[in-house]
Chain A
Amino acid sequence: MKHVLCAVAGATALFISAPSFAQTTLTIATVNNGDMIRMQGLTNEFTAKNPDITVKWVTLEENVLRQRVTTDIATKGGQFDVLTIGTYEVPIWAKKSWLVPLDKLGADYDVGDLLPKIKDAVSVDGKLYAAPFYGESSMVMYRTDLFEKAGLKMPDSPTWDFVVDAAKKLTDKNGGTYGICLRGKAGWGENMAFLTAMSNSFGARWFDEKWEPQFNSPEWKKTLTTYVNLMKEAGPPGASSNGFNENLALFNAGKCAMWIDATVAASFVTNPKESKVADKVGFALAPNTGLGKNANWLWAWSLAIPAGSKKVDAAEKFIAWATSKDYTKLVASKEGWANVPPGTRTSLYQNPEYQKAAPFAKMTLASIDAADPNKPTVKPVPYVGVQYAAIPEFQGIGTSVGQQFAAALSGSSTVDAALAAAQSSTEREMKRAGYIK
């Protein structure tokens, strides 16, 4: 009996003296992109180092996620502890005080290593409000074999004149090869991402300094005319329903001589498992017209903490882990350097192993460097954002303008009519929102 009592007392003492972990569960909302799925797969590495934290994932389609997360953060619903958001949301949400500033990511986080343009895009007034997980710009991907056959040489930084001319020469509609594939599907993140970036290179802008819409300007007319004519002459049929994935499939099947889209696509088009033309792809900066701006955008999926979260410490730990230099090394050791999340850290682009594994690394970095979210256009503008204007109204306005432009591309409207409709609908919306009288 005595032994039993001793054993019970001993066990109790042991139980009391053992460190008790208060288990914190982090709910992380994210999009279904390759890099994010990879991060989910590596969660165990994080929880092994932080046994007091459990991680649960909510993966949603981009637009669903945006709506879901916006509702939750605006109502302070508290359903998520870490959010995956884009560069569009960061400045808007930070100004509304919806995000926790990330100034406690740890001494070895090395904020100075983040690519300056990407860091700018996720900071407001010099404070980091989201940690970039992967970043991207856009660039020209082209078929080196077709260019060689036609006796053309792609410059590192081509002009629109060159691209238009080459696209026409490389088009062989009977043979099923098209000179250029571009986004045509309507949406603020679809055709308008491309067209807004393209318009920047033509000297156009969405709004002047007083928030007056500028679709009646000659620069916009030139942008849209060039785009529509180019796609009619050298684009694939049914281009007005093509987005990133459709063009990716066309390019990988060898049907496009050029494709201007996200730098992230470079790893897909050079992957022999996915692409028929993997060894015949070259890269160049997005085109310009000599005005000092290229037609490339800037985007970063980033991790942020909603204000009012009760698990800020654990969330910070997770964000610091997922966006650290060590995380890229972890991915490289498990899945190879070609699969590490690109576009966020200077050190990655200086890494010779990465440069060897990713032939597109140099051009990706040059493209990111060529975009400036704080000064996106030739003429001054009152907004930040390269392929969008970071105001809450932009999603609605951008999609409605995108529909007008898609109609001009499909031929159900003209360039002039589309621009006039875009001007009037944007004016109406900006008046309603109180930007202009």
Chain B
Amino acid sequence: MARMVTTQRKVISTAAAWLVGFLIFFPILWMVLASFKTELEAFAIPPSFLFFHWTTENYVTVQERSDYLHHALNSILIAGGSTLIAMLIAIPAAWSMAFSPTKRTKDILLWMLSTKMMPPVGVLVPIYLIYRDFGLLDTRTGLIFILCLGNLPIVIWMLFTYFKEIPKDILEAARMDGATIGRELVYVLTPMAIPGLASTLLLNLILAWNEAFWTLNLSTLEAAPLTTFIASYSSPEGLFWAKLSAASTLAIAPILVLGWFSQRQLVRGLTFGAVK
């Protein structure tokens, strides 16, 4: 009897999980469907779910009008570059704050977070002027730099909380056995922190990939990533939903695939760290 209840429960909870999953995924599914509709069908009321005239015309138009690969390569380089640099700066910073805290550590952490509270548009003009004078406008270096700075507080916070959960005693034991700081970092700390490092890396990559304010405002053509590619398909006068959906589907495809393959690390990291 008890076994039956368990099965029933399992079925219900599985169904509920699928339902919630479907609801969360629905906007993306809807966007993908819209990308295969004609402009008129994409806007039709009531909307058709599956029974419409499927067409790849939007993808052809998007390919003709924009250089997707150029934008995608920029996105990969900018998101990847800024993430790597942010990790290189954040790991030692978080490590020192987690394992050798001082009186001011908490204040420093809060101060770092406070920089995220300012709306970026508040500093747009000064940053634009600095970038103009240093020749950084519309360069990948400039975008990597600003995205790295923008994401650093979150990366440090996440790593700090992961590192804090590692018992100090283990490190002490390693030291007792004569391990140097380098060996301690590589052989003791890193293996334990890998899920945290992986999820921080992935989250930072996703944040940088999706960042739209700075990438739109500081790039023109050469360094323009996929955010500018998407922004060019929205129109105030005229139907554009289907083409915009096709552009958006192309833009999220790489990060969706990456997320799919790394979901195990992502979920593991997210459920025991800073953002649980």
Binding site for B on A (CB under 8 A): 27, 31-34, 37, 40, 56, 58-62, 64, 67-68, 71-72, 74-80, 189, 243-245, 248-250, 252-253, 255, 262, 264-265, 268, 273-274
- Chain B, 231-248, CB within 8 A of any chain A CB: 231-240
Top 10 closest pairs, chain A to chain B, by CB: A61-B234, A59-B232, A32-B235, A249-B43, A62-B236, A79-B220, A77-B132, A61-B231, A64-B231, A75-B128
Q: Once bound together, how far apart are the Cα atoms of A268 and B239, in whole Å?
A: 10
- For B124, B221, B232, the residue with the greatest tally of chain A CB atoms inside 10 Å of its CB is B232
User: Can you add 12 more A-B contacts, CB < 8 Å, to A31-B236, A61-B234, A61-B236?
Assistant: A32-B232, A40-B65, A56-B221, A58-B221, A64-B231, A71-B125, A76-B132, A77-B137, A249-B44, A249-B239, A255-B45, A265-B237
Question: Which residues in B have their C-beta under 8 angstroms from that of A40?
Answer: 65
Q: Once bound together, how far apart are the Cα atoms of A268 and B235, in whole Å?
A: 14
Encode B112-151 as 1/0 by CB contact (under 8 A) with A.
0000000000001100110010000110000000000000
B214 to chain A: closest CB distance in Å? 12
Q: List 15 A-B contacts (CB under 8 A).
A: A31-B236, A32-B235, A34-B237, A58-B232, A60-B216, A60-B228, A61-B235, A72-B128, A76-B132, A77-B128, A77-B132, A249-B239, A262-B237, A268-B238, A274-B239
Tell me whether B44 and A253 are in contact (CB under 8 A).
Answer: yes
Question: Which residues in B have their C-beta under 8 angstroms from that of A68?
Answer: 216-217
Q: Once bound together, how far apart are the Cα atoms of A74 and B125, in whole Å?
A: 9
Question: Which residues in B have their C-beta under 8 angstroms from that of A274?
Answer: 39-40, 239
Q: Which residue of B lies closest to A76 (CB)?
A: B132
Q: Which residue of B lies closest to A189 (CB)?
A: B236
B217 to chain A: closest CB distance in Å? 6
Tell me whether A253 and B45 are in contact (CB under 8 A).
Answer: yes
B66 to chain A: closest CB distance in Å? 8
Question: Which residues in B have their C-beta under 8 angstroms from that of A71?
Answer: 124-125, 128, 217
Question: Which residues in A have their C-beta under 8 angstroms from that of B238?
Answer: 33-34, 245, 268
Q: Which residue of A lies closest to B229 (CB)?
A: A59
Number of B residues contacting the other chain (C-beta, 8 Å)? 29
Q: Once bound together, how far apart are the Cα atoms of A264 and B235, in whole Å?
A: 13
Question: Which residues in A have their C-beta under 8 angstroms from that of B40?
Answer: 252, 273-274
B235 to chain A: closest CB distance in Å? 4
Question: Which residues in B have their C-beta under 8 angstroms from that of A58?
Answer: 220-221, 224, 228, 232
Question: Which residues in A have their C-beta under 8 angstroms from that of B240?
Answer: 32, 245
A82 to chain B: closest CB distance in Å? 13
Question: Which residues in A have their C-beta under 8 angstroms from that of B137?
Answer: 77, 79
Tell me whether A27 and B236 are in contact (CB under 8 A).
Answer: no
Encode B35-46 as 1/0 by CB contact (under 8 A) with A.
000011001110
A29 to chain B: closest CB distance in Å? 8
Question: Which residues in A have their C-beta under 8 angstroms from that of B234?
Answer: 32, 61, 64
Q: Once bound together, how far apart are the Cα atoms of A67 and B228, in whole Å?
A: 13
B224 to chain A: closest CB distance in Å? 8
B203 to chain A: closest CB distance in Å? 26
Question: Which residues in A have their C-beta under 8 angstroms from that of B217?
Answer: 67-68, 71
Which of B65, B216, B231 sits near A37, CB closer than 8 Å? Answer: B65
Which of A33, A75, A76, A78 sits near B235, CB closer than 8 Å? Answer: A33
B237 to chain A: closest CB distance in Å? 6
Q: Once bound together, how far apart are the Cα atoms of A248 and B221, in whole Å?
A: 32
Which of B43, B44, B45, B233 sits near A32, CB closer than 8 Å? Answer: B233
B258 to chain A: closest CB distance in Å? 26
Question: Which residues in B have their C-beta under 8 angstroms from that of A61?
Answer: 231-232, 234-236
Question: Which residues in B have their C-beta under 8 angstroms from that of A273?
Answer: 40
Question: Which residues in B have their C-beta under 8 angstroms from that of A74?
Answer: 125
Tell me whether A244 and B220 are in contact (CB under 8 A).
Answer: no
Q: Once bound together, how far apart are the Cα atoms of A59 and B229, in whole Å?
A: 9
Q: Once bound together, how far apart are the Cα atoms of A245 and B43, in whole Å?
A: 9
- For A27, A64, A273, the residue with the greatest tally of chain B CB atoms inside 10 Å of its CB is A64
B34 to chain A: closest CB distance in Å? 13
Question: Which residues in A have their C-beta under 8 angstroms from that of B231?
Answer: 60-61, 64
Given the interface contacts A32-B235, A60-B232, A62-B236, does A249 sit within 8 Å of B132 by beta carbon? Answer: no
B89 to chain A: closest CB distance in Å? 28
Tell me whether B125 and A75 are in contact (CB under 8 A).
Answer: yes
A276 to chain B: closest CB distance in Å? 9
Q: Once bound together, how far apart are the Cα atoms of A123 and B239, in whole Å?
A: 31
Q: Once bound together, how far apart are the Cα atoms of A343 and B40, in whole Å?
A: 26
Q: Once bound together, how far apart are the Cα atoms of A36 and B132, in whole Å?
A: 28
A363 to chain B: closest CB distance in Å? 18
Question: Which residues in B have their C-beta under 8 angstroms from that of A189?
Answer: 236
Question: Which residues in A have their C-beta under 8 angstroms from that of B224?
Answer: 58
Q: Once bound together, how far apart are the Cα atoms of A284 and B45, in whole Å?
A: 27
Q: Which residue of B lies closest to A32 (CB)?
A: B235
Q: Once bound together, how far apart are the Cα atoms of A40 and B65, in whole Å?
A: 9
Q: Which residue of B lies closest to A67 (CB)?
A: B217
- Chain B, 162-212, CB within 8 A of any chain A CB: none
B48 to chain A: closest CB distance in Å? 13
Q: Once bound together, how far apart are the Cα atoms of A22 and B228, in whole Å?
A: 30
Q: Which residue of A lies closest to B129 (CB)?
A: A75
Question: Which residues in B have their C-beta under 8 angstroms from that of A79?
Answer: 137-138, 220
Which of B44, B129, B237 sits near A264, CB closer than 8 Å? Answer: B237
Q: Once bound together, how far apart are the Cα atoms of A151 and B234, in whole Å?
A: 41
Tell me whether B128 and A244 are in contact (CB under 8 A).
Answer: no
Q: Which residue of A lies closest to B132 (CB)?
A: A77
Which of B45, B216, B236 sits near A244, CB closer than 8 Å? Answer: B236
Q: Once bound together, how far apart are the Cα atoms of A282 and B240, in whole Å?
A: 25
Encode B16-48 as 1/0 by CB contact (under 8 A) with A.
000000000000000000000001100111000
Question: Which residues in A have their C-beta under 8 angstroms from that of B44?
Answer: 249, 253
Question: Which residues in A have their C-beta under 8 angstroms from that of B39?
Answer: 274
Q: Once bound together, how far apart are the Cα atoms of A250 and B45, in whole Å?
A: 8
Given the interface contacts A27-B221, A71-B217, does A248 sit within 8 Å of B239 by beta carbon? Answer: yes
Question: Which residues in B have their C-beta under 8 angstroms from that of A31?
Answer: 235-236
- For A32, A59, A67, A76, the residue with the greatest tally of chain B CB atoms inside 10 Å of its CB is A32
A11 to chain B: closest CB distance in Å? 34
B244 to chain A: closest CB distance in Å? 9
Q: Which residue of B lies closest to A299 (CB)?
A: B237
A63 to chain B: closest CB distance in Å? 8
Q: Once bound together, how far apart are the Cα atoms of A249 and B239, in whole Å?
A: 8
